[in-house]
Amino acid sequence: MKRTITRLADGRELIYFDRRDDADRSAIDRRPLDPRPVASELRYDPLTEEWIAMAGHRQTRTFLPPADECPLCPSSETRSSEIPAYDYDVVVFENRFPSFSGNFGTYQDPGGLSEVRPGAGRCEVVCFTSEHSSSFSRLSDEQVELVMEAWADRTAELSAIEGVEQVFCFENRGDEIGITLSHPHGQIYAYPYVTPRTRLQLGAAARHARDKGGNLSADVLAAERAAEVRVVASNESWTAFVPAAARWPFEVHLYPHRQVPDLAALSDAERSAFAPLYTSVLRALDGVFGVTMPYISAWHQAPVRAGRELAYLHLELFSIRRAPGKLKYLAGSESAMGAFVNDVLPEEAARLLRSQIDH
């Protein structure tokens, strides 16, 4: 793999990840870009003990451009995009409209019981392929491995930034999810705090270790593999299963068989084994109703400093589609109280997904 770092016209970093060592990455971004926005403002909610980012500059981000104006496609002789090269394998660059960054502004105390601090951190875009009409499910195993190399590289690099507490790699797919760019891509958030979901999981893991011994995620994985009824697919290094208490109509968790804290800690063999299993699950998801399923794919990694011995790297994939032509909306119970009601029995979701797995 060849890794090439360059800069865009406004100073943002862009990194090419290439399979070929002779890839030419000398193209320069010649666009007249506006100055980079200042970092968001973080406000603390004392009632929930959560940090909320106020990022007004994101209102102006690019919204569903036509294919011939896609900013994630390669540049051409007649049009310049976010990627100066005329072709690429995998590209990562700093988001032009970040929720977190190191470009600080001036922040005023809003009063009340909240406190304010800069939204320090970093947000990056990961372009999985130069093919605008493709999808992650259609990537070759070799291309998925290159994406994983990029994820692991960025996890290690971003974890070393002062003030970063957690690195989150994810993909939003589908208009129903609310994507603003249809090109196959994901994002990476480097948070200046440990996220609420991770704090809950680490708390549960700590109590399990204290009361029962062992690692909670490892025990859940072992129990699901033993029960088998919710296992969707597996190979020598990974198991994909629908959790017994799934929140979403179609939800699949993918765990490596070895406990590791983050993507950077995976072995080459584990990265290779992930690719065919994951893409087969994605294709199965689309096959359930014979339509392109909207989804969120989220890597849960250990925080940079807290609870690394308790954490267990895994990917959570879920779709809001519950039936052909029907979506699950987060209405009163879910949105207001965080109390989920699932419309699809997890065992039935697993059966439907298994029926669509490539053989």
pLDDT digits (tens, 9 = 90+) for 51-68: 999 999 999 888 889 999
Q: For residues 257 and 38, what is the distance between their CA atoms, to the nearest angstrom?
A: 42
In terms of phi and psi (left: phi > 0; alpha: psi -120 to 50; beta: otherwise), the region of 7 is beta
- Could you tell me the end-to-end alpha-carbon distance of the chain, in angstroms, rounded to an integer? 30
- pLDDT tens per residue across span 238-291: 999 999 999 999 999 999 999 999 999 999 999 999 999 999 999 999 999 999
What's the confidence (pLDDT) of residue 110? 86
DSSP 191-255: ESS--HHHHHHHHHHHHHHHHT-S-HHHHHHHHHHHH-TTEEEE-SSEEEE--TT-SSSEEEEEE
| Contact call for residues 1 and 17 (beta carbons, < 8 A) | yes
What's the confidence (pLDDT) of residue 241? 98
Residue 234's identity, in one-letter code, is: S
Distance of CA 133 to the CA centre of its chain: 20
Residue 358 has pLDDT above 80, yes or no: no
Q: For residues 77 and 85, what is the distance between their CA atoms, to the nearest angstrom?
A: 10
Domains 2-193 and 197-354 share a fold: yes
Q: What's the rounded mean pLDDT across residues 46-50? A: 96
What's the confidence (pLDDT) of residue 346? 98
Residue with more model confidence, 63 or 236: 236
Q: Nearest Cα to 219, choosing from 234, 204, 235?
A: 204
Helix pair angle (141-159, 268-289), 10° resolution? 120
For 17-40, give one letter per residue: b (16+ CB within 10 A) or e: bbeeeeeebebebeeeeeebbbbb
Tally Cβ neighbours within 10 Å of residue 174. 16
Annotated active-site residue 185? The verdict is yes
Beta strands in 47-148 (DSSP E): 50-54, 90-94, 116-118, 122-127
Q: Which fold has domain 2-193?
A: HIT family, subunit A (3.30.428)
At 323, which helix (H) or strand (E)? strand 321-323
Positive/negative CA dihedral, 77, 81, 82, 87: negative
- pLDDT tens per residue across span 89-148: 999 999 999 999 999 988 988 888 999 999 999 999 999 999 999 999 999 999 999 999
CATH superfamily of this structure's domain 197-354: HIT-like (3.30.428.10)
What's the confidence (pLDDT) of residue 359? 54
Residue 297, exposed/middle/buried by CB under 10 A (0-12, 13-18, 19+)? buried
Q: For residues 333 and 336, what is the distance between their CA atoms, to the nearest angstrom?
A: 6
What's the confidence (pLDDT) of residue 108? 86
What's the confidence (pLDDT) of residue 88? 98
Q: For residues 57 and 133, what is the distance between their CA atoms, to the nearest angstrom?
A: 29
- pLDDT tens per residue across span 160-201: 999 999 999 999 999 999 999 999 999 999 999 999 999 999
Residue 26 has pLDDT above 60, yes or no: yes
- In the chain, where the domains are located: 2-193, 197-354
In terms of phi and psi (left: phi > 0; alpha: psi -120 to 50; beta: otherwise), the region of 213 is left
- pLDDT tens per residue across span 15-24: 999 999 999 9
Among candidate residues 132, 183, 185, 208, the one labeled active-site is 185
Q: For residues 224 and 101, what is the distance between their CA atoms, to the nearest angstrom?
A: 39
